[in-house]
Chain A
Amino acid sequence: MAATRVIACLDCDLLHHLGEVPEGGTALCQRCGGLLRKRPRNSLEHTLALALSAAILFLVANSFPFLSFAMKGRITETTVMTGIIDLYNGGKWQIAALVLLTIELAPVAQLTLLLYVLAPLRLGRVPWKLPHAFRMLRHAQSWSMIEVFMIGIIVAITKLMGMATIVPGLAIYAFGLLMLVLAGAMSSFDPESVWERVEALR
C-alpha cells in the first residue's frame, strides 16, 4: 500500500497528496472543507456486526404490529406492510410505491448488499461482481429512510393521542433500535478500506 496517494476532492476537484489517515481519523479538503477520507476504527468488523444486528431488527420490525389503535371498543393494528397495502387499495399507488421503496426495498437491499460485500471479505474472499454491488449499495443507501419514518411514527402517535388509545407494539422498539444500528453501520462503513482489502487479496 502506498504511503501517499493523490486524490481529488469530490466537491471542488482540488488535488491533495493524502498520507495514511490514522484509524478513527478524518481528512478534509483544504479549500472547501469537503470530506476526503474518513477512516473508522475496525471498519469491516464493526460494520459487519452492526449490519447483522440490523438485519435481525428489520425482520422483527416487519413481523409485528408497530401500533394498535383503540377507539370505541374497536381495535386496529398496523404493520408497515398493511399500511402500504391500505394506501394501494385506496388508489394512492404512487405513495404506496414510495413508502415500499424507502422503508422496505431500499433497506433490504442496503443490508443484503452490506452483508454480501463484507462477509466474504472477512473470510478472505473477494465477492463476485463487487463493483456492481457497491454501485447498488450507494443507491440503496440514499433511498433508505428508516430514520425519517421513525419521526413520522412519533408525529402520528402525537396526532392521534387525543382521539383514541394508542398502544405501541413490539415493532416500534425494533424500529427505534434499527434506526440507531443502521446509522452506526453506515458511519463505520468505509468503502476505501474495502478496496484496500480487495487489493491486498488480489
Chain B
Amino acid sequence: MSEIAATAIAASCASCHDCGLLAQLPASSHAEACCPRCGAELHERKPRSLERTLALVIAAIVCYVPANLLPVMTVTSLGKTESDTIFSGVVYMLEHGMWPLAIVLFTASIFVPMMKLGLLSFLLISVHRRSSWRPVERTRMYRLTEAIGRWSMVDIYVVTILVALVRLGNLATIEAGAGAVFFGAVVVITMLAAESFDPRIIWDRSDMREP
C-alpha cells in the first residue's frame, strides 16, 4: 500500500456512499453523476451535511429536556402510584445497592446521550471555525459517536419489558411515561445526526490551511 499525496476531492473523484467505489466525477461540476457499479447518486461530500447535522442536534437538545424531566414510567402498586424519571431510576438502583445496574443505566441513559450531543456540537463548532486542531482525534470522536448511539436504547427496552410483564390489575401495573417518548426521540434524532455528519469536512478544513 502506498500513499498518493492527494484526496479524492482534489482528484475530482468521489467515493460512492453505498458501495464505496471511487469514481471519476464528470467535468461539468453541476451535472448529476451516478456510481458506475451500483447506480447510486455520487456526491463529493454528504449533501448539506452541516446544516442537517446542526438542525438535528438542536432538535435532539430540545427533546432532551422533557426526556429528563418527565417520568419514563409510572408504577402503580396496591393503589400507590410512583413515577420514575431517568435520573431517579438510577438513584433508586444506587440506594438499593444494585450498583452494577446503576452503572449500566447511567452509562446508557445519561452519559452516552450527553456525550453524543457534546461531541457532535464540538465537531460542528470546530468545523464551522475552520479549525485545523488534531483532525485524527476529531475523526476518532466522530467514529465513537457513531458507534455508541444505539446503546442508549436500553432504557426504552427495559420500559417495554416491564410494561409487558407487570400487568396484574389492582396489584401492580407499570405504564410507560411521556419521558420515554421524548427519550426515544433523542436516541433516534442523534443517530440520524451522526449519520448526516461527514467526517471528511474535518479534513477539508485542515487541508486548506496547509501550505
Taking beta carbons and an 8 Å cutoff, which residues of A are in contact with B?
5-8, 10-19, 27, 30-34, 67, 69, 71-72, 74, 76, 78, 82-84, 86-87, 90, 92, 94-95, 98-99, 102-103, 130-131, 134-135, 138, 142, 145, 148-149, 151-153, 155-156, 158-160, 162, 191-192, 195
Contacts and interface: CB of A to CB of B under 8 A. Distances in A.
Nearest to A138: B18
A155 B105 contact: yes
Given A33-B136, A195-B21, 18 more contacts: A5-B22, A7-B15, A14-B6, A14-B8, A15-B11, A16-B3, A69-B166, A83-B163, A87-B176, A102-B153, A134-B19, A148-B153, A151-B104, A155-B105, A156-B158, A156-B161, A159-B158, A191-B19
Contacts of A67: 161, 165
B157 A148 contact: yes
A192 B15 CA distance: 13
Contacts, number: 197
Contacts of A82: 164
A138 B153 CA distance: 19
Given A71-B172, A95-B176, A151-B104, A78 B20 contact: no
Interface in B130-181: 135-136, 139-140, 142-143, 150-151, 153-168, 171-172, 175-176, 180-181
B188 interface: yes
B101 A95 contact: no
A8 to B, nearest CB: 4
A99 B2 CA distance: 46
Interface of B: 1-4, 6-9, 11, 13, 15, 18-22, 37-40, 93, 96, 98, 101, 104-105, 108, 135-136, 139-140, 142-143, 150-151, 153-168, 171-172, 175-176, 180-181, 184-185, 188, 191, 195, 199-200, 202-204
Nearest to A5: B22
A159 B87 CA distance: 15
Contact of A152 (B1, B8, B161, B175): B161
B165 A78 contact: yes
B18 A134 contact: yes
Contacts of B153: 102, 145, 148-149, 152
B168 A32 contact: no
Contacts of A32: 135-136, 139-140, 199, 203
